[in-house]
Amino acid sequence: MGDKARAKARMRAAGVPCVPGFDGEAPDDATLMAAAAQVGFPLLVKAAAGGGGPGMRRVGDPAALPAALQSARREAEQAFGCGDLLLERLVENARHIEIQVMADAHGAVLHLGERDCSTQRRHQKVLEEAPSPFVGPKLRARMGAAATAAARAVGYQGAGTVEFLVDAAGDFYFLEMNTRLQVEHPVTEAITGLDLVALQLSVAAGQPLPFRQEGLRLEGHAIEVRLTAEAPAQGYAPRTGPVHLFRPPTGEGQRCDHGLRDGLEVSADYDSMLAKIIAWGPDRETARRRLQRALEDTVLVGVETNRRFLGRLLAHPDLVAGAITTGWLEAHPEVAEAPAPAPEDRWAAVAAWLLHRLPAGGLVSAPRGLQPLLLQIDEDEVKVGIQREGSGWRLQLGDGDRSLLGAAPGGWSRIALDGHERSIFSWHQGPTTWVQHRGALHRVQPVDPAPAAETVQAGDGRLRAPSAARVLSLLAAVGDHLSPGDPVLVVEAMKLETTLRADRSGTLTELRVSPGQAVAAGQILALISAPTSPSEVLP
Protein backbone atom coordinates (compact mmCIF):
# COMPACT_ATOMS: atom_id res chain seq x y z
CA MET A 1 0.00 0.00 0.00
CA GLY A 2 3.04 2.28 0.18
CA ASP A 3 3.15 2.33 -3.63
CA LYS A 4 0.23 4.44 -4.87
CA ALA A 5 0.08 2.73 -8.27
CA ARG A 6 -0.01 -0.83 -6.86
CA ALA A 7 -2.41 0.28 -4.13
CA LYS A 8 -4.92 1.66 -6.66
CA ALA A 9 -4.81 -1.60 -8.61
CA ARG A 10 -5.61 -3.56 -5.43
CA MET A 11 -8.41 -1.16 -4.53
CA ARG A 12 -10.05 -1.43 -7.94
CA ALA A 13 -9.97 -5.21 -7.57
CA ALA A 14 -11.64 -4.86 -4.14
CA GLY A 15 -14.40 -2.63 -5.51
CA VAL A 16 -13.20 0.57 -3.87
CA PRO A 17 -13.84 3.59 -6.17
CA CYS A 18 -10.63 5.24 -7.40
CA VAL A 19 -9.81 8.55 -9.08
CA PRO A 20 -9.58 8.01 -12.88
CA GLY A 21 -6.02 8.20 -14.11
CA PHE A 22 -2.97 6.29 -15.25
CA ASP A 23 -0.78 4.25 -12.92
CA GLY A 24 1.16 1.85 -15.10
CA GLU A 25 4.30 0.36 -13.61
CA ALA A 26 7.39 2.67 -13.74
CA PRO A 27 6.30 4.60 -16.85
CA ASP A 28 8.73 6.92 -18.62
CA ASP A 29 7.88 10.49 -19.58
CA ALA A 30 6.84 9.57 -23.12
CA THR A 31 4.34 7.02 -21.80
CA LEU A 32 2.98 9.49 -19.26
CA MET A 33 2.58 12.22 -21.89
CA ALA A 34 0.65 9.84 -24.14
CA ALA A 35 -1.53 8.71 -21.22
CA ALA A 36 -2.27 12.28 -20.20
CA ALA A 37 -4.32 12.80 -23.36
CA GLN A 38 -6.62 9.99 -22.23
CA VAL A 39 -6.80 11.14 -18.61
CA GLY A 40 -7.65 14.72 -19.63
CA PHE A 41 -6.68 18.13 -18.27
CA PRO A 42 -6.42 19.53 -15.67
CA LEU A 43 -4.66 16.64 -14.01
CA LEU A 44 -2.27 15.87 -11.16
CA VAL A 45 1.19 14.40 -11.53
CA LYS A 46 1.95 12.44 -8.36
CA ALA A 47 4.85 10.49 -6.92
CA ALA A 48 4.00 6.79 -6.82
CA ALA A 49 5.86 6.39 -3.51
CA GLY A 50 5.66 8.31 -0.25
CA GLY A 51 2.98 10.75 0.82
CA GLY A 52 2.19 14.42 1.21
CA GLY A 53 3.09 17.13 -1.30
CA PRO A 54 6.59 16.21 -2.63
CA GLY A 55 6.46 15.02 -6.21
CA MET A 56 2.99 16.44 -6.87
CA ARG A 57 2.19 18.97 -9.60
CA ARG A 58 -1.06 20.40 -10.93
CA VAL A 59 -0.98 20.62 -14.73
CA GLY A 60 -3.57 22.68 -16.57
CA ASP A 61 -2.61 22.03 -20.20
CA PRO A 62 -0.37 19.72 -22.30
CA ALA A 63 2.34 22.37 -22.83
CA ALA A 64 3.13 22.47 -19.10
CA LEU A 65 3.37 18.68 -18.71
CA PRO A 66 7.04 18.01 -19.68
CA ALA A 67 8.44 20.47 -17.14
CA ALA A 68 6.03 19.22 -14.46
CA LEU A 69 7.12 15.61 -15.01
CA GLN A 70 10.80 16.53 -14.77
CA SER A 71 10.33 18.60 -11.61
CA ALA A 72 8.02 16.07 -9.91
CA ARG A 73 10.35 13.16 -10.67
CA ARG A 74 13.36 15.01 -9.28
CA GLU A 75 11.49 16.00 -6.10
CA ALA A 76 10.13 12.45 -5.64
CA GLU A 77 13.61 10.96 -5.95
CA GLN A 78 14.90 13.42 -3.37
CA ALA A 79 12.06 12.82 -0.91
CA PHE A 80 11.36 9.09 -1.33
CA GLY A 81 14.28 7.60 -3.23
CA CYS A 82 11.92 6.65 -6.08
CA GLY A 83 11.09 8.76 -9.14
CA ASP A 84 8.12 6.73 -10.41
CA LEU A 85 5.08 8.89 -11.23
CA LEU A 86 1.39 8.44 -11.93
CA LEU A 87 -1.39 10.64 -13.29
CA GLU A 88 -4.81 11.42 -11.81
CA ARG A 89 -7.69 13.43 -13.14
CA LEU A 90 -8.10 16.57 -11.04
CA VAL A 91 -11.31 16.44 -9.02
CA GLU A 92 -12.38 20.09 -8.85
CA ASN A 93 -13.79 21.64 -5.61
CA ALA A 94 -13.03 18.44 -3.75
CA ARG A 95 -12.84 17.65 -0.06
CA HIS A 96 -9.92 15.60 1.25
CA ILE A 97 -11.50 13.17 3.71
CA GLU A 98 -9.57 10.36 5.35
CA ILE A 99 -10.79 7.46 7.46
CA GLN A 100 -8.79 6.18 10.43
CA VAL A 101 -8.76 2.38 10.57
CA MET A 102 -7.52 -0.06 13.20
CA ALA A 103 -7.14 -3.79 12.50
CA ASP A 104 -5.94 -6.57 14.79
CA ALA A 105 -4.56 -10.06 14.18
CA HIS A 106 -7.90 -11.65 15.09
CA GLY A 107 -9.92 -10.44 12.11
CA ALA A 108 -11.33 -7.20 13.52
CA VAL A 109 -11.10 -4.23 11.12
CA LEU A 110 -12.74 -1.08 12.47
CA HIS A 111 -12.92 2.56 11.46
CA LEU A 112 -12.70 5.43 13.94
CA GLY A 113 -14.52 8.08 11.92
CA GLU A 114 -13.17 10.62 9.49
CA ARG A 115 -10.86 13.61 9.42
CA ASP A 116 -11.32 16.54 7.06
CA CYS A 117 -7.92 17.58 5.67
CA SER A 118 -9.14 19.84 2.86
CA THR A 119 -7.22 22.93 3.98
CA GLN A 120 -3.97 22.51 2.05
CA ARG A 121 -1.15 24.54 0.55
CA ARG A 122 1.19 23.13 -2.07
CA HIS A 123 -0.70 19.83 -1.67
CA GLN A 124 0.29 19.58 2.00
CA LYS A 125 -2.13 19.77 4.89
CA VAL A 126 -2.42 22.91 6.99
CA LEU A 127 -5.48 22.23 9.16
CA GLU A 128 -7.29 19.01 10.02
CA GLU A 129 -10.52 18.49 11.92
CA ALA A 130 -12.75 15.68 13.13
CA PRO A 131 -15.49 15.06 12.41
CA SER A 132 -15.78 16.71 9.00
CA PRO A 133 -18.36 19.52 8.77
CA PHE A 134 -19.22 18.11 5.32
CA VAL A 135 -19.76 14.45 6.21
CA GLY A 136 -23.06 13.24 7.62
CA PRO A 137 -23.93 9.84 9.16
CA LYS A 138 -24.82 8.16 5.83
CA LEU A 139 -21.68 9.28 4.00
CA ARG A 140 -19.58 8.39 7.07
CA ALA A 141 -20.99 4.87 7.03
CA ARG A 142 -20.33 4.46 3.28
CA MET A 143 -16.77 5.76 3.51
CA GLY A 144 -16.09 3.72 6.65
CA ALA A 145 -17.22 0.58 4.86
CA ALA A 146 -14.98 1.36 1.88
CA ALA A 147 -11.99 2.03 4.16
CA THR A 148 -12.38 -1.20 6.11
CA ALA A 149 -12.83 -3.10 2.83
CA ALA A 150 -9.57 -1.59 1.63
CA ALA A 151 -7.77 -2.73 4.78
CA ARG A 152 -9.23 -6.24 4.57
CA ALA A 153 -8.22 -6.51 0.89
CA VAL A 154 -4.55 -6.36 1.84
CA GLY A 155 -4.72 -8.22 5.18
CA TYR A 156 -3.82 -5.06 7.04
CA GLN A 157 -3.00 -4.99 10.77
CA GLY A 158 -2.38 -1.96 12.97
CA ALA A 159 -3.29 1.71 12.62
CA GLY A 160 -3.70 3.13 9.13
CA THR A 161 -5.48 5.83 7.20
CA VAL A 162 -7.44 5.44 3.97
CA GLU A 163 -7.61 8.75 2.12
CA PHE A 164 -10.36 9.81 -0.28
CA LEU A 165 -11.34 12.77 -2.44
CA VAL A 166 -15.02 13.65 -2.12
CA ASP A 167 -16.79 15.77 -4.73
CA ALA A 168 -19.65 18.19 -4.14
CA ALA A 169 -22.22 15.46 -4.83
CA GLY A 170 -20.78 13.22 -2.11
CA ASP A 171 -19.11 10.74 -4.49
CA PHE A 172 -15.73 9.64 -3.15
CA TYR A 173 -12.58 8.21 -4.71
CA PHE A 174 -9.64 6.35 -3.17
CA LEU A 175 -6.37 8.28 -3.14
CA GLU A 176 -3.93 6.26 -1.06
CA MET A 177 -3.49 4.41 2.19
CA ASN A 178 -0.99 5.60 4.78
CA THR A 179 0.19 2.50 6.61
CA ARG A 180 1.09 4.30 9.85
CA LEU A 181 -0.15 6.83 12.33
CA GLN A 182 -0.38 10.28 10.79
CA VAL A 183 0.40 13.81 11.93
CA GLU A 184 -3.30 14.52 12.45
CA HIS A 185 -4.14 11.49 14.61
CA PRO A 186 -4.65 13.66 17.76
CA VAL A 187 -8.00 14.99 16.48
CA THR A 188 -9.27 11.42 16.24
CA GLU A 189 -7.99 10.73 19.75
CA ALA A 190 -9.79 13.84 20.99
CA ILE A 191 -13.25 12.85 19.71
CA THR A 192 -12.99 9.10 20.44
CA GLY A 193 -11.20 9.22 23.78
CA LEU A 194 -8.79 6.57 22.49
CA ASP A 195 -5.00 6.50 22.65
CA LEU A 196 -4.05 5.44 19.12
CA VAL A 197 -0.38 4.96 20.01
CA ALA A 198 -1.30 2.57 22.82
CA LEU A 199 -3.71 0.72 20.49
CA GLN A 200 -1.01 0.44 17.84
CA LEU A 201 1.40 -1.11 20.33
CA SER A 202 -1.29 -3.42 21.71
CA VAL A 203 -2.19 -4.70 18.24
CA ALA A 204 1.49 -5.17 17.40
CA ALA A 205 1.80 -7.29 20.54
CA GLY A 206 -1.00 -9.56 19.28
CA GLN A 207 -3.80 -8.28 21.50
CA PRO A 208 -7.36 -7.97 20.15
CA LEU A 209 -8.98 -4.57 19.85
CA PRO A 210 -10.88 -3.87 23.09
CA PHE A 211 -14.06 -2.53 21.43
CA ARG A 212 -16.40 -3.16 18.51
CA GLN A 213 -17.59 -0.84 15.79
CA GLU A 214 -21.00 -0.37 17.35
CA GLY A 215 -19.40 0.61 20.64
CA LEU A 216 -17.49 3.55 19.19
CA ARG A 217 -18.81 7.01 20.07
CA LEU A 218 -17.67 10.31 18.55
CA GLU A 219 -17.97 13.17 21.03
CA GLY A 220 -17.44 16.85 20.37
CA HIS A 221 -15.16 18.35 17.75
CA ALA A 222 -11.39 18.76 17.42
CA ILE A 223 -9.24 20.91 15.11
CA GLU A 224 -5.47 20.78 14.58
CA VAL A 225 -3.13 23.20 12.86
CA ARG A 226 0.49 22.67 11.89
CA LEU A 227 2.91 25.28 13.17
CA THR A 228 5.62 25.43 10.53
CA ALA A 229 8.83 27.34 9.88
CA GLU A 230 7.76 29.11 6.72
CA ALA A 231 6.77 32.47 5.23
CA PRO A 232 3.19 32.25 3.89
CA ALA A 233 3.42 35.66 2.22
CA GLN A 234 6.45 34.47 0.20
CA GLY A 235 4.72 31.46 -1.30
CA TYR A 236 5.03 29.43 1.92
CA ALA A 237 8.80 29.35 1.48
CA PRO A 238 10.52 27.40 4.27
CA ARG A 239 12.56 29.29 6.84
CA THR A 240 15.53 28.31 8.98
CA GLY A 241 16.91 29.85 12.13
CA PRO A 242 17.12 29.57 15.91
CA VAL A 243 14.41 28.89 18.47
CA HIS A 244 15.41 31.36 21.16
CA LEU A 245 12.32 30.72 23.25
CA PHE A 246 9.29 28.41 22.95
CA ARG A 247 6.25 28.32 25.23
CA PRO A 248 3.32 26.08 24.22
CA PRO A 249 -0.32 26.80 25.11
CA THR A 250 -1.77 25.20 28.23
CA GLY A 251 -5.45 26.22 28.23
CA GLU A 252 -8.59 24.13 28.63
CA GLY A 253 -9.15 21.69 25.77
CA GLN A 254 -5.77 22.53 24.24
CA ARG A 255 -2.89 20.23 23.32
CA CYS A 256 0.50 20.82 21.74
CA ASP A 257 2.72 18.05 20.35
CA HIS A 258 6.27 19.23 19.67
CA GLY A 259 9.95 18.46 19.98
CA LEU A 260 11.18 22.01 20.47
CA ARG A 261 13.54 23.35 23.10
CA ASP A 262 15.07 26.75 23.72
CA GLY A 263 18.29 27.12 21.75
CA LEU A 264 17.34 24.63 19.03
CA GLU A 265 18.45 25.47 15.49
CA VAL A 266 15.89 24.79 12.76
CA SER A 267 17.83 23.56 9.72
CA ALA A 268 16.86 22.88 6.11
CA ASP A 269 17.40 19.13 6.50
CA TYR A 270 13.90 18.23 7.66
CA ASP A 271 10.24 19.01 7.08
CA SER A 272 9.23 22.53 8.12
CA MET A 273 6.67 21.43 10.73
CA LEU A 274 7.65 22.49 14.26
CA ALA A 275 4.58 21.61 16.32
CA LYS A 276 0.97 20.50 16.18
CA ILE A 277 -1.55 22.61 18.08
CA ILE A 278 -4.90 20.95 18.79
CA ALA A 279 -8.10 22.09 20.48
CA TRP A 280 -11.20 20.10 21.44
CA GLY A 281 -14.64 21.43 22.30
CA PRO A 282 -18.15 20.06 22.78
CA ASP A 283 -18.98 21.66 19.41
CA ARG A 284 -17.04 22.93 16.41
CA GLU A 285 -17.30 26.62 17.27
CA THR A 286 -15.94 26.06 20.78
CA ALA A 287 -13.05 24.05 19.37
CA ARG A 288 -12.32 26.79 16.83
CA ARG A 289 -12.28 29.54 19.45
CA ARG A 290 -10.09 27.50 21.79
CA LEU A 291 -7.64 26.91 18.95
CA GLN A 292 -7.55 30.64 18.18
CA ARG A 293 -6.68 31.29 21.82
CA ALA A 294 -4.08 28.52 21.79
CA LEU A 295 -2.34 30.17 18.83
CA GLU A 296 -2.38 33.55 20.57
CA ASP A 297 -0.83 31.95 23.66
CA THR A 298 1.87 30.06 21.76
CA VAL A 299 5.19 31.90 21.97
CA LEU A 300 8.07 31.19 19.60
CA VAL A 301 10.85 33.76 19.42
CA GLY A 302 13.34 33.20 16.65
CA VAL A 303 12.68 31.43 13.37
CA GLU A 304 9.79 32.81 11.31
CA THR A 305 6.59 30.73 11.51
CA ASN A 306 3.09 30.65 10.02
CA ARG A 307 1.34 31.30 13.36
CA ARG A 308 -0.41 34.56 12.41
CA PHE A 309 -1.45 33.06 9.08
CA LEU A 310 -3.11 30.22 10.97
CA GLY A 311 -4.95 32.76 13.11
CA ARG A 312 -6.27 34.53 10.01
CA LEU A 313 -7.30 31.20 8.54
CA LEU A 314 -9.28 30.23 11.64
CA ALA A 315 -11.08 33.58 11.59
CA HIS A 316 -12.07 33.46 7.89
CA PRO A 317 -15.84 33.20 7.29
CA ASP A 318 -15.39 30.24 4.91
CA LEU A 319 -13.51 28.30 7.58
CA VAL A 320 -16.11 29.25 10.18
CA ALA A 321 -18.80 27.94 7.81
CA GLY A 322 -16.90 24.71 7.10
CA ALA A 323 -16.78 25.51 3.38
CA ILE A 324 -13.08 24.81 2.64
CA THR A 325 -12.08 22.64 -0.34
CA THR A 326 -8.63 21.50 -1.44
CA GLY A 327 -8.18 24.45 -3.81
CA TRP A 328 -9.42 27.10 -1.39
CA LEU A 329 -6.07 28.46 -0.17
CA GLU A 330 -4.77 28.76 -3.72
CA ALA A 331 -7.91 30.74 -4.60
CA HIS A 332 -7.53 33.01 -1.54
CA PRO A 333 -3.91 34.23 -1.57
CA GLU A 334 -4.91 37.23 0.54
CA VAL A 335 -5.09 34.97 3.62
CA ALA A 336 -1.34 34.41 3.33
CA GLU A 337 -0.50 38.10 3.09
CA ALA A 338 0.98 39.60 6.24
CA PRO A 339 -1.25 42.45 7.49
CA ALA A 340 0.04 45.81 8.66
CA PRO A 341 0.72 45.98 12.42
CA ALA A 342 -2.46 46.71 14.37
CA PRO A 343 -2.32 49.98 16.36
CA GLU A 344 -3.16 48.18 19.61
CA ASP A 345 -0.25 45.79 19.12
CA ARG A 346 2.12 48.72 18.71
CA TRP A 347 0.83 50.40 21.88
CA ALA A 348 1.36 47.15 23.81
CA ALA A 349 4.86 46.68 22.37
CA VAL A 350 5.96 50.18 23.36
CA ALA A 351 4.36 49.86 26.80
CA ALA A 352 6.12 46.57 27.56
CA TRP A 353 9.49 47.98 26.52
CA LEU A 354 9.04 51.11 28.65
CA LEU A 355 7.92 49.23 31.76
CA HIS A 356 10.90 46.91 31.60
CA ARG A 357 13.58 49.42 30.67
CA LEU A 358 12.74 52.59 32.57
CA PRO A 359 12.44 51.61 36.25
CA ALA A 360 16.11 50.60 36.30
CA GLY A 361 17.15 54.21 35.61
CA GLY A 362 15.75 56.05 32.65
CA LEU A 363 13.13 58.65 33.43
CA VAL A 364 12.22 58.02 37.08
CA SER A 365 13.13 61.66 37.73
CA ALA A 366 12.21 62.94 34.30
CA PRO A 367 11.66 66.67 33.76
CA ARG A 368 8.20 68.06 33.22
CA GLY A 369 6.62 67.52 29.84
CA LEU A 370 6.90 64.66 27.39
CA GLN A 371 10.38 63.36 26.78
CA PRO A 372 10.94 62.03 23.24
CA LEU A 373 12.35 58.61 22.47
CA LEU A 374 12.98 56.86 19.18
CA LEU A 375 12.27 53.12 19.09
CA GLN A 376 12.44 50.56 16.35
CA ILE A 377 9.44 48.23 16.25
CA ASP A 378 10.18 45.45 13.80
CA GLU A 379 11.35 47.35 10.70
CA ASP A 380 9.78 50.74 11.53
CA GLU A 381 11.15 53.65 13.53
CA VAL A 382 8.52 55.03 15.91
CA LYS A 383 8.62 58.35 17.78
CA VAL A 384 7.42 57.98 21.36
CA GLY A 385 6.79 60.55 24.09
CA ILE A 386 6.74 59.58 27.77
CA GLN A 387 6.18 61.37 31.05
CA ARG A 388 5.97 60.21 34.67
CA GLU A 389 2.36 60.36 35.91
CA GLY A 390 1.80 59.30 39.53
CA SER A 391 2.61 55.61 39.84
CA GLY A 392 2.49 55.16 36.09
CA TRP A 393 3.30 56.93 32.85
CA ARG A 394 1.75 59.10 30.21
CA LEU A 395 2.57 57.57 26.82
CA GLN A 396 2.26 59.34 23.46
CA LEU A 397 2.37 57.51 20.15
CA GLY A 398 1.49 59.33 16.93
CA ASP A 399 -1.49 61.58 17.55
CA GLY A 400 -2.72 59.66 20.59
CA ASP A 401 -1.76 59.48 24.23
CA ARG A 402 -2.70 57.02 26.97
CA SER A 403 -2.01 56.35 30.60
CA LEU A 404 0.07 53.28 31.35
CA LEU A 405 0.11 51.17 34.50
CA GLY A 406 1.92 47.92 35.18
CA ALA A 407 4.97 46.30 36.68
CA ALA A 408 8.12 45.47 34.72
CA PRO A 409 6.84 42.57 32.62
CA GLY A 410 8.54 39.27 31.98
CA GLY A 411 6.75 36.22 30.62
CA TRP A 412 2.97 36.61 30.67
CA SER A 413 1.77 39.68 32.58
CA ARG A 414 -1.00 42.27 32.67
CA ILE A 415 -0.73 45.93 31.78
CA ALA A 416 -3.37 48.66 31.67
CA LEU A 417 -3.62 51.29 28.93
CA ASP A 418 -6.21 53.96 29.78
CA GLY A 419 -7.62 51.51 32.30
CA HIS A 420 -8.14 48.68 29.81
CA GLU A 421 -6.22 45.59 30.91
CA ARG A 422 -4.54 43.37 28.40
CA SER A 423 -2.36 40.27 28.56
CA ILE A 424 1.12 40.47 27.03
CA PHE A 425 4.17 38.25 26.88
CA SER A 426 7.60 39.82 26.95
CA TRP A 427 11.12 38.44 26.82
CA HIS A 428 14.30 40.46 26.93
CA GLN A 429 17.39 39.62 24.93
CA GLY A 430 20.15 42.21 25.32
CA PRO A 431 18.85 45.57 24.08
CA THR A 432 15.92 43.85 22.36
CA THR A 433 12.53 43.21 23.93
CA TRP A 434 10.22 40.69 22.27
CA VAL A 435 6.57 41.47 22.95
CA GLN A 436 3.58 39.32 22.03
CA HIS A 437 0.05 40.70 22.15
CA ARG A 438 -3.02 38.89 20.78
CA GLY A 439 -0.82 36.56 18.78
CA ALA A 440 1.35 39.28 17.21
CA LEU A 441 5.06 39.11 18.10
CA HIS A 442 7.09 42.31 17.81
CA ARG A 443 10.76 43.17 18.25
CA VAL A 444 11.36 46.46 20.11
CA GLN A 445 14.73 48.14 20.60
CA PRO A 446 16.14 51.66 20.88
CA VAL A 447 17.32 53.16 17.62
CA ASP A 448 21.09 53.22 17.18
CA PRO A 449 22.05 56.85 16.60
CA ALA A 450 24.76 55.81 14.15
CA PRO A 451 23.61 55.99 10.53
CA ALA A 452 22.59 52.64 9.16
CA ALA A 453 24.63 51.17 6.34
CA GLU A 454 23.09 51.39 2.93
CA THR A 455 21.07 48.31 2.17
CA VAL A 456 20.26 46.86 -1.20
CA GLN A 457 16.58 46.88 -2.11
CA ALA A 458 14.55 44.18 -3.83
CA GLY A 459 14.67 44.25 -7.59
CA ASP A 460 18.41 44.86 -7.75
CA GLY A 461 19.15 41.81 -9.86
CA ARG A 462 20.79 39.88 -7.05
CA LEU A 463 19.00 36.57 -6.55
CA ARG A 464 19.38 35.36 -2.98
CA ALA A 465 18.64 32.03 -1.34
CA PRO A 466 15.34 32.38 0.59
CA SER A 467 16.67 29.99 3.25
CA ALA A 468 19.45 27.51 3.80
CA ALA A 469 19.02 25.15 0.87
CA ARG A 470 20.65 22.99 -1.80
CA VAL A 471 20.84 23.96 -5.47
CA LEU A 472 19.00 21.41 -7.62
CA SER A 473 19.32 22.78 -11.14
CA LEU A 474 20.22 25.81 -13.25
CA LEU A 475 17.50 26.93 -15.67
CA ALA A 476 19.41 29.79 -17.34
CA ALA A 477 22.98 30.36 -18.51
CA VAL A 478 25.35 33.29 -18.24
CA GLY A 479 24.66 35.64 -21.14
CA ASP A 480 20.92 34.89 -21.33
CA HIS A 481 18.66 37.92 -21.55
CA LEU A 482 15.94 37.68 -18.89
CA SER A 483 12.62 39.33 -18.23
CA PRO A 484 11.00 39.65 -14.81
CA GLY A 485 9.63 36.26 -13.76
CA ASP A 486 11.91 34.16 -15.97
CA PRO A 487 13.20 31.06 -14.09
CA VAL A 488 16.90 31.10 -13.24
CA LEU A 489 17.55 28.22 -10.83
CA VAL A 490 15.82 25.75 -8.50
CA VAL A 491 16.72 25.20 -4.84
CA GLU A 492 15.38 22.63 -2.37
CA ALA A 493 14.83 23.01 1.36
CA MET A 494 12.72 20.99 3.79
CA LYS A 495 11.68 18.60 0.99
CA LEU A 496 10.17 21.40 -1.11
CA GLU A 497 11.48 22.95 -4.33
CA THR A 498 11.53 26.71 -4.96
CA THR A 499 12.20 28.28 -8.35
CA LEU A 500 14.10 31.57 -8.14
CA ARG A 501 13.08 33.96 -10.90
CA ALA A 502 14.49 37.12 -12.42
CA ASP A 503 13.42 40.23 -10.52
CA ARG A 504 14.19 42.64 -13.37
CA SER A 505 15.04 42.74 -17.05
CA GLY A 506 18.67 42.32 -17.96
CA THR A 507 21.46 39.92 -18.82
CA LEU A 508 22.47 37.06 -16.54
CA THR A 509 26.06 38.10 -15.88
CA GLU A 510 27.06 35.65 -13.17
CA LEU A 511 26.01 32.31 -11.64
CA ARG A 512 27.78 31.76 -8.34
CA VAL A 513 26.53 28.22 -7.66
CA SER A 514 26.32 24.82 -9.28
CA PRO A 515 23.87 21.89 -8.89
CA GLY A 516 24.27 20.04 -5.61
CA GLN A 517 25.85 22.98 -3.81
CA ALA A 518 24.61 23.89 -0.32
CA VAL A 519 23.84 27.58 0.17
CA ALA A 520 23.10 29.76 3.19
CA ALA A 521 20.03 31.92 3.75
CA GLY A 522 20.47 35.25 1.98
CA GLN A 523 23.47 34.10 -0.04
CA ILE A 524 23.68 35.75 -3.48
CA LEU A 525 23.35 33.04 -6.10
CA ALA A 526 23.11 34.96 -9.38
CA LEU A 527 23.49 38.45 -10.84
CA ILE A 528 21.32 40.01 -13.53
CA SER A 529 22.88 42.81 -15.60
CA ALA A 530 26.22 44.46 -14.92
CA PRO A 531 26.65 46.96 -12.05
CA THR A 532 25.91 50.51 -13.17
CA SER A 533 27.61 52.43 -10.37
CA PRO A 534 30.45 51.86 -7.88
CA SER A 535 27.96 51.59 -4.99
CA GLU A 536 26.44 48.50 -6.59
CA VAL A 537 29.69 46.59 -6.97
CA LEU A 538 29.57 43.40 -4.96
CA PRO A 539 32.48 42.12 -2.90
CATH number, domain containing residue 510: 2.40.50.100
Which pLDDT score, from 0 to 100, does residue 448 have? 63
Residues 172 and 61 occupy one common structural domain: no
- CA-wise closest residue to 94 among 18, 150, 169, 185: 169
Which pLDDT score, from 0 to 100, does residue 449 have? 53
399: domain CATH number? 3.30.700.30
**Would 153 be classed as within a structural domain?**
yes
Residues 358 and 414 occupy one common structural domain: yes
Which pLDDT score, from 0 to 100, does residue 91 have? 85
Residues 286 and 229 occupy one common structural domain: yes
- CA-wise closest residue to 492 among 57, 71, 46: 71
Beta strands in 351-450 (DSSP E): 371-377, 380-389, 392-397, 400-405, 411-417, 420-429, 432-437, 440-446
Residues 187 and 241 occupy one common structural domain: yes
Which pLDDT score, from 0 to 100, does residue 362 have? 46
**Among candidate residues 318, 336, 354, the one where a domain is terminated:** 336
- Name the DSSP letter for residue 452: P
- Which segments of 46-132 does DSSP mark as H helices, in order? 65-80
Beta strands in 64-220 (DSSP E): 85-89, 95-103, 109-121, 124-130, 158-166, 172-178
Which whole number is the average pLDDT over 483-511? 88
Query: pLDDT per residue over 109-159, tens digit each?
Result: 999 999 999 999 988 999 999 999 999 999 999 999 999 999 999 999 999
Which pLDDT score, from 0 to 100, does residue 339 have? 83
33: domain CATH number? 3.30.1490.20
**Would 523 be classed as within a structural domain?**
yes
| Beta carbons of 436 and 307 less than 8 angstroms apart | no
Residues 139 and 261 occupy one common structural domain: yes
Percent of the chain at pLDDT exceeding 70: 93
Which pLDDT score, from 0 to 100, does residue 530 have? 61
**Would 5 be classed as within a structural domain?**
no
Which pLDDT score, from 0 to 100, does residue 123 have? 83
With 70 as the cut, is the pLDDT of residue 99 above it? yes
Residue 457 one-letter amino acid: Q
**Would 360 be classed as within a structural domain?**
yes
Which pLDDT score, from 0 to 100, does residue 359 have? 53
**Among candidate residues 446, 474, 507, the one where a domain is terminated:** 446
Name the β-bridge partners of 393: 388, 404
pLDDT band at residue 267 under the 50/70/90 scheme: very high
**Would 8 be classed as within a structural domain?**
no
Residues 402 and 428 occupy one common structural domain: yes
Residues 277 and 129 occupy one common structural domain: yes
**Would 160 be classed as within a structural domain?**
yes
Question: Residue 521 CB: number of other CB atoms within 10 A?
Answer: 15
| Range with lowest mean pLDDT among 16-20, 210-214, 215-219, 360-364 | 360-364
With 90 as the cut, is the pLDDT of residue 457 above it? no
Rounded Cα distance, 498 and 237, in Å: 7
With 80 as the cut, is the pLDDT of residue 526 above it? yes
Q: How many domains is the chain built from? A: 4
Residues 409 and 522 occupy one common structural domain: no
Residues 121 and 268 occupy one common structural domain: yes
Report the DSSP pairing between strands 264-266 and 496-501: unpaired
Comparing 120 with 51, which gets the higher pLDDT?
Answer: 120
The per-residue pLDDT of the chain, averaged, comes to: 89
**Would 363 be classed as within a structural domain?**
yes
**Among candidate residues 28, 58, 89, the one where a domain is terminated:** 89
pLDDT band at residue 355 under the 50/70/90 scheme: confident
Rounded Cα distance, 441 and 444, in Å: 10
Residues 255 and 380 occupy one common structural domain: no
Which pLDDT score, from 0 to 100, does residue 451 have? 46
- Which segments of 182-283 does DSSP mark as H helices, in order? 185-192, 196-204
Which pLDDT score, from 0 to 100, does residue 455 have? 39
Residues 323 and 350 occupy one common structural domain: no
pLDDT band at residue 522 under the 50/70/90 scheme: confident
175: domain CATH number? 3.30.470.20
Residues 74 and 140 occupy one common structural domain: no
**Would 113 be classed as within a structural domain?**
yes
With 90 as the cut, is the pLDDT of residue 80 above it? no
| Range with lowest mean pLDDT among 17-26, 335-344, 496-505 | 17-26
Domain that holds residue 488: 462-536
With 90 as the cut, is the pLDDT of residue 108 above it? yes
